[in-house]
Structure 1
């Protein structure tokens, strides 16, 4: 899988780009956890989400936010990271101008950034938010949430407690015109250790494939 360097708001950003042979393939970006707590694009959840989307026929890009790995810049409280994500999507779209579907997936901090990106980019047709930290960050900007998506969390998550995720999902369920699918992985912690990883990825695979089938009918 080719390493790529592309321009970001504060200098270059480092990524991994995995194209399909099909020029019309859907595209997805995958966003990593908090940079100040060891989050990188090679986080296990992010890495596995990347390959799950690729196996479903997506052209996929994951990348390091500013200040992580070889990406230039410094941590910016989520503001700059959102700009980084927008630059990554610009880059991905420039390489895949025939793509009919555009998805964003994020894990933890990356889920928060991904859902903000969703609000700014109407071309995003679906999202996957894994363990969104609704206890740490304000998700009230999702009013209304512009597209349907999957929110998934573990029942044993101590970093982003399930009760806060339930509150977020309940608020989104009240909105019309979109469908928020909520899946919980029984016993899983924040990082989906052991067999919980396969359970989580299986739920993502099933959801995204169903959505793609619905849109191609």
Structure 2
């Protein structure tokens, strides 16, 4: 887990990166909670997500927003932090240009930034939102939400009520082809104190399900492509047979007589 410095729009961005050697390993970017309330890339929930993705063969990047830790710059209220996230994703995609999947995850404030980045980057295949502050920030820009994903919160969260997250999830579920899952972890507060293992099980289970589906979809796509190619070959064979038995072939038969 080597320390990493990325060039960002406000200067240096401090990060940590887990690298998978496979050229096509999937990638994931993790965004931390609100910088002005103690949020950093070393937050226990951020690390839990980082570890959960890494366990499943992802190359994973987490970083400090501007003004946090050794990252340069100053708190910008959202736009600057979104630019930081975009730069981090650029770096991750540069390192892993052949990644087969791209995911993004956020914790609290980080989910608001993550979902804005999701709207701007069509290559993102899925998302994990932990304790999304749907009662504090406007998520109406998710119209429509371009990818399926998971919303997770605790039933003891006094910052973000479960009902607020459920309402956001319900709005997003109405969009065709997009499936948003919502999981509530019993006994968990906004910081998931003593509940990170439960969080890892929920997020890990969801990732396992999505990855298995993606593999199956790829296999199905290969089978469909084989069937299409077989149909094209049958058509080419039919055309060859018709050409061989056409007027030119009849003329040749007449010459032989």
Q: What does residue 196 of structure 2 align with?
A: 197
Q: Superposed, which structure 2 residues align to 1:177-192 within 5 Å?
A: 177-192=177-192
- Rounded to whole Å, the distance in 1 between the matches of 2:9 and 2:51 is 27
Q: Deviations over 1:160-215 (max 9, x none)?
A: 11121111111111111110011110121011111x21111111001011111111
- Mapping of 1:52-201 within 5 angstroms? 52-194=52-194, 196-201=195-200
Task: Give the aligned length.
Answer: 216
Which runs of 5 or more structure 1 residues have no equivalent in the other structure?
none
The alignment partner of 1:65 has SS state of coil
After TM superposition, what 4+ stretches of structure 1 lie above 4 angstroms from structure 2?
A: none
| SS of residue paired to 1:13 | strand
What's the CA shift string for 1:53-87, capped at 9, x where partnerless?
A: 00011000000000000101100011110110000
Take 1:95 and 1:166, find their aligned partners in 2: how far apart are those partners? 36
Shift of 1:96: 0.4
Helix, strand or coil: the match of 1:190? coil
Cα distance in 1 between the residues matched to 2:164 and 2:182? 13
Correspondence for 1:19: 19
In 2: Cα distance, 1:130 partner to 1:71 partner: 23
Q: Unaligned 5+ residue runs, structure 2?
A: 217-257
Compute the TM-score of the two structures, normalised by the length of structure 2: 0.83
Matches of 1:155 and 1:75, distance apart in 2 = 30
- Counterpart CA distance in 2 for 1:109 and 1:201 is 19
- Higher mean alpha-carbon deviation, 35-44 vs 166-175, is at 166-175
Q: Do residues 212 (structure 1) and 215 (structure 2) align?
A: no
Taking the aligned partners of 2:144 and 2:166, their CA distance within structure 1 comes to 17
- In 1, Cα distance between the equivalents of 2:9 and 2:208? 33
Note the C-alpha offset of 1:159.
1.0
Please report how far the alpha carbon of residue 32 of structure 1 lies from its aligned counterpart in structure 2 after TM superposition.
Answer: 0.1
Question: Take 2:12 and 2:19, find their aligned partners in 1: how far apart are those partners?
Answer: 20
Bigger fraction of residues in helix: 2
